[in-house]
């Protein structure tokens, strides 16, 4: 049983970013409003889209010819797209008539790229919907001071491994704002921010994705006011080895509604994120200074919070695979642990048939290094259950596992200051 226990947690800890089926939401437009491409037309000379223009050609031309500080306004309607779009001009605003009013439909997309790729600074994307992309919905790379606002990215129908991996996907950026964004159906993470710093994700909705919101290899992030439901896992905070940016730290997850994240895992087979157990509220892996407080957790069949080491071999001597300075405090909890998914279910019989709300793998050292004080702080009421699996060593040795339900005696590391972005109030 100890070996099974080790495999269970190790399988969960290998997570990296790289819901049950619902009818499509209210973000769809009447098919009668759909505009089909009129091939061969050129962009309107007055800079505005005209009926009869090839919308895709018009839009990509506008993105190429845009000047710094300009605004491109998209009309209402559903527009069929066959190729991805790109923007590399600084200071551009791309705005539509509203979520569900301006819809860029990539169901007929050729190739497997993203719907929109942004590689410039000071860009604002707002008030439109992108759906059914073959790859990621919207990706920005090296795009500082970017704003994703009042957007919807979605894949309709049943959860499907063929859906794009990420909905909203800023990476390698400074000053990232994601607000009032809805993502549905991503086969990896709905809202993902990676290898970035100074991040706010707020007032958004992530539903029916494998991971709802993910902060990876990033620093100074604040995730609050979000509605995270019907994903496989709700909110993930990771730090992975062998990437250009490592040492993720200082993430606060607060005042979110995180509930009913019990959707089967539909990530493509072989993806690491495919190991996320259905029914996980928050998962913290190998990160430093993470605060989970004042959230409202609902029903999760496996657990509310999982804190774990990264357990695969790695070569970078500067990488720390252990979670440390984690505070879980002042949250409210619904039912959890009653039907643990995957191999974690092997733990339940040892604990009276259910898992507690909060679980830590208990890894405190790796290789020949000395034990560290992970400083895991659980400041919840006695009614909120906790389990330290007590593996002790990394690589994990099943003989060292020493499960305990005693809470660690850590001390809070101090408050994280609210994130302030240079381009927003």
3-state secondary structure the chain: CHHHHHHHHHHHHCCCCCCCCCCCCCCCCCHHHEECCCCCCCCCCCCCCCCCCCHHHHHHHHHHHCCCCCEEECCCEEEECCCCEEECCCCCEEECCCCCCEEEECCCCCCCCCCEEECCCCCEEEEEEEECCCCCCEEEECCCCEEEEEEEEECCCCCCCCCCCEEEEEECCEEEEEECCEEECCCCEEEEEECCEEEEEECCEEECCCEEEEEECCEEEEEECCEEECCCEEEEEECCCCCCCCCCEEEEEECCEEECCCCCCCCCCCCHHHHCCCCEEEEEECCEEEEEECCEECCECCEEEEEECCCCCCCCCCCCCCCEEEEEECCECCCECCCCCHHHHHCHHHHCCCCCCEEECCEEEECCCCCCCCCEEEECCCCCCEEECCCEEECCCHHHCCCECCCCCCCCCCCCCCCCCCCCC
Q: So what's the pLDDT on residue 1?
A: 30
Q: So what's the pLDDT on residue 35?
A: 36
Q: So what's the pLDDT on residue 314?
A: 87
Q: So what's the pLDDT on residue 425?
A: 65
Q: So what's the pLDDT on residue 336?
A: 96
CB atoms within 10 A of CB 67: 9
Entry pTM = 0.89
Cβ-contact 189, 209 below 8 angstroms = yes
Cβ-contact 125, 104 below 8 angstroms = no
Bridge-based pairing of strands 174-179 and 138-141 is unpaired
Could you list the pLDDT tens digit for every one of the 425 residues in the chain? 322 333 333 333 333 334 333 333 333 333 333 333 333 333 333 467 877 679 999 999 999 999 999 999 999 999 999 999 999 999 999 999 999 999 999 999 998 899 999 999 999 999 999 999 999 999 999 999 999 999 999 999 999 999 999 999 999 999 999 999 999 999 999 999 999 999 999 999 999 999 999 999 999 999 999 999 999 999 999 999 999 999 999 999 999 999 999 999 999 987 878 888 999 999 999 999 999 999 999 999 999 999 999 988 888 888 999 999 999 999 999 999 999 998 777 777 777 788 999 999 999 988 777 788 999 999 999 999 999 988 888 776 666 778 889 999 889 999 999 999 999 86
CA atoms of 115 and 411, how far apart (whole Å) = 45
CA atoms of 101 and 126, how far apart (whole Å) = 12
Q: So what's the pLDDT on residue 13?
A: 36
CB atoms within 10 A of CB 243: 16
Cβ-contact 375, 410 below 8 angstroms = yes
CA atoms of 46 and 211, how far apart (whole Å) = 43
Q: Which residues contact 84 (CB under 8 A, 6 or more apart)?
A: 106, 109, 111, 113, 114, 115, 116, 117, 133, 135
Diameter of the chain measured on Cα atoms: 73
For residue 2 the two structure tokens come to: 């100890």
Taking the CA of residue 208 as centre, how many other CA atoms within 13 Å lie in the half-sphere pointing to its CB?
A: 21
For residue 120 the two structure tokens come to: 């410039």
Cβ-contact 280, 260 below 8 angstroms = no
Report the chain's mean pLDDT, rounded to a whole number.
87
Q: Which residues contact 270 (CB under 8 A, 6 or more apart)?
A: none
Percent of the chain at pLDDT > 70 equals: 87
Could you tell me which residues are beta bridge partners of residue 141? 171
Length of the chain: 425
Q: So what's the pLDDT on residue 28?
A: 34
Q: So what's the pLDDT on residue 52?
A: 66
CA atoms of 287 and 66, how far apart (whole Å) = 40
Bridge-based pairing of strands 93-95 and 116-118 is unpaired
pLDDT, one tens digit per residue, over 178-210 is 999 999 999 999 999 999 999 999 999 999 999
């Amino acid at each position: 049983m100890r070996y099974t226990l080790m495999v269970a947690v190790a399988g969960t800890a290998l997570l990296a970013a790289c819901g049950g089926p619902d009818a499509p939401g209210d973000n769809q437009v009447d098919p009668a409003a759909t505009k089909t491409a009129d091939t061969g037309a050129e962009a309107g000379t007055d800079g505005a889209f005209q009926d009869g223009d090839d919308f895709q050609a018009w839009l990509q031309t506008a993105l190429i010819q845009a000047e710094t500080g300009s605004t491109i306004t998209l009309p209402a309607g559903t527009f069929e797209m066959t190729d991805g779009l790109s923007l590399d001009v600084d200071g551009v605003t791309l705005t539509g008539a509203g979520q569900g009013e301006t819809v860029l439909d990539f169901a007929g997309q050729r190739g497997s790229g993203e719907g929109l790729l942004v590689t410039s600074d000071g860009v604002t994307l707002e008030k439109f919907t992108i759906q059914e992309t073959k790859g990621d919905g919207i990706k920005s790379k090296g795009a500082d001071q970017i704003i994703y606002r009042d957007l919807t990215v979605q894949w309709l129908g049943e959860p499907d491994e063929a859906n794009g991996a990420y909905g909203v996907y800023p990476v390698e950026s400074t000053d990232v704002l994601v607000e009032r964004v809805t993502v549905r159906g991503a086969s990896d993470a709905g809202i993902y921010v990676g290898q970035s710093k100074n991040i706010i994700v707020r007032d958004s909705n992530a539903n029916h994705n494998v991971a709802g919101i993910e902060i990876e290899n990033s620093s100074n992030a604040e995730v609050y006011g979000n509605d995270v439901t019907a994903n496989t896992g709700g909110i993930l905070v990771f730090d992975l080895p062998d990437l250009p940016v490592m040492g993720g730290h200082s993430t606060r997850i607060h005042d979110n509604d995180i509930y009913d994240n019990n959707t089967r895992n539909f990530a493509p087979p072989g993806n690491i994120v495919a190991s996320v157990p259905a029914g996980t509220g928050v998962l913290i892996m190998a990160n430093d200074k993470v605060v989970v407080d004042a959230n409202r957790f609902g029903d999760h069949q496996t657990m509310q919070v999982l804190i774990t080491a990264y357990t695969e071999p790695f070569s970078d001597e500067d990488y720390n695979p252990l979670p440390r300075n984690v505070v879980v405090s002042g949250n409210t909890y619904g039912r959890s642990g009653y039907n643990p998914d995957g191999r974690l279910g092997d733990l339940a019989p040892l604990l009276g048939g259910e898992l507690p709300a909060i679980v830590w793998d208990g890894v405190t050292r790796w290789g020949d290094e000395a034990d560290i004080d992970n400083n895991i702080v659980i400041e919840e009421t006695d009614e909120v259950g906790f389990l330290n699996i007590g593996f002790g060593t990394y690589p994990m040795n099943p003989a060292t596992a020493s499960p305990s339900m005693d809470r660690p005696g850590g001390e809070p590391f101090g408050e994280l200051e609210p994130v302030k972005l240079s381009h927003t109030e």
